[in-house]
Amino acid sequence: MDKETQRVMLSQTMGKIAHFAENAPWDVNNPEDLKSAISTCVIELCKAMDAGRIHFDEDEDSAMFHGLLSVNLAQFFDGNVKTESMTQQ
């Protein structure tokens, strides 16, 4: 195992995420469970961002967070995301 992989695997945050994943009440192999979990997390994270409870000191961190959320949103909508239905005009 290289040093970067070891650093990530020993990360306190990765450990917390692994604990949540191990004890998750949903089955990610069940499409409906997966969509429910994704939608719940994306909605709550969007609310937190809009309320200013999540902020980033680095643009790269913000880009990765938003990238992760966009992957989740695309997964929820089966790759058929329509921006115009989700933006304020």
Amino acid at 78: D
Quick one: pLDDT at residue 43? Answer: 94
Q: How far is CA 53 from CA 7, 12, 35, 50, 56, in A?
A: 27, 21, 24, 8, 10
Quick one: pLDDT at residue 85? Answer: 64
**Per-residue model confidence as pLDDT tens digits over 38-71:** 999 999 999 999 999 999 999 999 999 999 999 9
Quick one: pLDDT at residue 89? Answer: 44
**pLDDT at residue 77 greater than cutoff 70:** yes
**pLDDT band at residue 78 under the 50/70/90 scheme:** confident
Q: How far is CA 55 from CA 45, 52, 78, 82, 86, in A?
A: 11, 7, 28, 26, 22
What span, in angstroms and rounded, lies between the C-alpha atoms of 76 and 32?
A: 10
What span, in angstroms and rounded, lies between the C-alpha atoms of 28 and 37?
A: 9
pTM above 0.85, yes or no: no
